[in-house]
C-alpha cells in the first residue's frame, strides 16, 4: 500500500472531513481513502447510466421528443 501526504490543506476542509468521518463512524484517514477510491475508481453498479439519469431529470417536465433519423442522402456523382 502506498502513502500520501497532502500539504497546505485548508483548515475548513480538514474540519469538514473530520465531521464527515465521525458521522460515518470511522477515522478521518478512512474517510479520505473512501473519497479518493470513489473519485478515481467509482462504485461499480451503483450509478445509473447517463442516458437514464437525463431521462429521469426531464420526465417530470413531460420528457423530450427526439426527432427520428432519416437515411442520409445519396452522394453526388461527379
Q: Where are the domains of the chain?
A: 7-44
Total count of residues recorded for the chain:
78
Per-residue b or e along 4-28, where b marks 16 or more CB atoms closer than 10 Å to that residue's CB: eeeeeeeeeeeeebeeebeeeeeee
pLDDT in tens, the chain (78 residues): 889 899 999 999 999 999 999 998 999 999 999 999 888 887 655 667 777 778 888 888 877 666 777 888 888 899
Helix axes 11-24, 28-41, angle to 10 degrees: 90
Q: Give the pTM.
A: 0.53
Amino acid at each position: 500500500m502506498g502513502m500520501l501526504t497532502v500539504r497546505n490543506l485548508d483548515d475548513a476542509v480538514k474540519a469538514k472531513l473530520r465531521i464527515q468521518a465521525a458521522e460515518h463512524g470511522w477515522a478521518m484517514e478512512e474517510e479520505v481513502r473512501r473519497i479518493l477510491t470513489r473519485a478515481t475508481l467509482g462504485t461499480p453498479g451503483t450509478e445509473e447510466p447517463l442516458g437514464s439519469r437525463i431521462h429521469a431529470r426531464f420526465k417530470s417536465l413531460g420528457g423530450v421528443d427526439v426527432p427520428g433519423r432519416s437515411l442520409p442522402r445519396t452522394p453526388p456523382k461527379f
